[in-house]
């Protein structure tokens, strides 16, 4: 069967072989410690599940979520933005409910990018920015980042011709895979850059509630950000709700209108019962459940930080998100290292090159496994290294 050429342009999934070997090892009865997952191991908080139970029994929630959807979800989302970041938003004009942030990442290029136009994507970075661009006929332009700049892109290195032709600039802090958190000064610089070159700035804030030392900033805290920027919020990581598919986009009203137009022709918004459950999560004024999750990730982070340091593995201690981004010991390439970890230690990690060429030489470990298993993983690594 003939398929469209655009599918051939999606970068190959480089860790495919490692995934296959992992499944083989597991079915052969080997006790594999999977540090490759980017999915919380804890369940969705009870109060959210209970809200879902109530909402799903209400027939008013069984219909299309057309128009504004569930008003209470919009209100809970803008209230949480005001409470957490001091950002005031109009719940109708400056917010679009999302079926997870990937919804926006896939649909924004359809609204903003003509065939052949550039989208600036972080490298290393979450692969959906580039593949969403490619599916819309656009061309990803990797902003290669490094340890030296704290995994922030050097915007001044983007050739002016590329900057002028680019339609979207993606940022993601706290960052997957590096654990970096952006400074307010960098966000100000990014807003000025986007305004100068007339680019839609999209900040993927999927991990904004997951931080260790100080709260992660919102790009909408930059005074004129809403002239050029939108921010994607997701309940996936914050409330252990990856499978539920719920989030929201906030910021520039015109950009959100264009996104909503695409979405109205593709999906009909998140299931209303899930919007009710989401509004319950976002209304948890004291942030109790996100605080408890951060404590759990902090203990796991500290355990790995101590253990990896003792092993002589070099890494960037994460300031947010739930990953450790580390240098492959011995200077080997990341696929070789990940293979070696699986074959010799029965541990899966994500090779950095899976996040783009800029991730070569690094690997990602997830903090989404219990401390007991992390201890065991460190012991196995000690034997191999
Ligand atoms: C997990 C993740 C998301 C979340 O996607 P959803 O569609 O909201 O589940 C978005 N961006 C990054 C960088 C992620 O790692």
Residue nearest to atom 2 of ligand 1 (CA): 206
Distant-in-sequence contacts of 56-60, Cβ < 8 A, 24+ apart: 56/273, 58/273, 60/272
Distant-in-sequence contacts of 85-90, Cβ < 8 A, 24+ apart: 85/217, 85/218, 85/220, 85/221, 86/221, 87/218, 87/220, 87/221, 87/250, 89/220, 89/250, 89/251, 90/253
Rounded distance from Cα 176 to ligand 1 centre (Å): 9
- 211-235: average pLDDT: 97
Whole-structure pTM over 0.75, yes or no? yes
- 243-272: average pLDDT: 96
Rounded distance from Cα 206 to ligand 1 centre (Å): 5
pLDDT over 80 (residue 53): yes
Pseudo-torsion of CA 16, 20, 26, 30, nearest 10°? -90
Ranking 14-23, 113-122, 156-165 by mean pLDDT, the lowest is: 14-23
Distance separating alpha carbons of residues 250 and 32, to the nearest angstrom: 40
pLDDT over 80 (residue 68): no
Rounded distance from Cα 199 to ligand 1 centre (Å): 22
Which residue from 172, 233, 234 has its CB within 8 A of the most atoms of ligand 1, so it is best to mutate?
234
Nearest to 171 by CA among 136, 123, 215: 123
Which residues does ligand 1 sit against, CB inside 6 Å?
Answer: 38, 100-102, 126, 172, 176, 204, 206, 234, 236-237, 242, 247
Tell me the three state secondary structure of residue 275.
helix
- Helices (H), ranges, 200-287: 235-238, 253-266, 272-282
**Ligand 1 atom at minimum distance from 103 CA:** 7
- 82-89: average pLDDT: 97
Tell me the pLDDT tens digit for each residue of 121-133.
Answer: 999 999 999 999 9
Say how many CA atoms lie within 13 Å of 131 toward its Cβ.
15
């Amino acid at each position: 069967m003939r398929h469209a050429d655009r599918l051939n342009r999606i970068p190959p999934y480089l860790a495919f072989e490692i995934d296959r070997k992992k499944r083989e090892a597991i079915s052969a009865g080997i006790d594999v410690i999977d540090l490759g997952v980017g999915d919380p191991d804890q369940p969705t908080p009870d109060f959210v599940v209970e809200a879902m139970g109530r909402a799903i029994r209400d027939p008013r929630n069984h219909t299309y979520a057309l128009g504004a959807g569930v008003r209470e979800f919009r209100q809970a989302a803008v209230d949480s933005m005001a409470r957490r970041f001091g950002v005031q938003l109009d719940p109708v004009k400056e917010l679009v409910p999302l079926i997870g942030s990937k919804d926006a990442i896939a649909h924004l290029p359809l609204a903003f990018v003509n065939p052949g136009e550039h989208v600036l994507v972080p490298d290393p970075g979450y692969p959906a920015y580039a593949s969403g661009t490619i599916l819309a006929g656009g061309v990803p332009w990797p902003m290669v980042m490094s340890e030296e700049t704290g995994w922030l892109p050097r915007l001044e290195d983007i050739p002016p011709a590329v900057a002028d032709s680019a339609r979207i600039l993606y940022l993601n802090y706290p960052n997957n895979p590096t654990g970096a958190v952006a400074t307010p000064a960098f966000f100000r610089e990014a807003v000025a850059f986007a305004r100068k070159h007339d680019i839609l700035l999209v900040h993927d804030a999927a991990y904004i509630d997951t931080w260790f030392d100080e709260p992660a900033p919102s790009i909408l805290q930059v005074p004129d950000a809403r002239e050029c920027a939108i921010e994607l919020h997701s309940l996936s990581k914050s409330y252990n709700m990856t499978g539920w598919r719920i989030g929201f986009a906030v910021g520039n009203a015109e950009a959100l209108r264009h996104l909503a137009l695409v979405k109205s022709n593709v999906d009909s918004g998140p299931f209303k019962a899930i919007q009710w459950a989401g509004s319950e999560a976002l209304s948890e004024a004291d942030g109790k459940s996100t605080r408890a999750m951060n404590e759990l990730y902090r203990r796991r982070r500290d355990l790995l930080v101590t253990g990896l340091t003792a092993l002589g593995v070099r890494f960037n201690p994460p300031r947010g998100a739930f990953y450790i981004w580390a240098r492959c010991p011995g200077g080997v390439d990341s696929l070789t290292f990940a293979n070696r970890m699986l074959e010799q230690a029965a541990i899966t990690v994500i090779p950095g090159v899976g996040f783009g060429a800029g991730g070569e030489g690094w690997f990602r470990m997830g903090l989404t496994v219990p401390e007991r298993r992390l201890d065991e993983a460190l012991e196995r690594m000690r034997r191999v290294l």
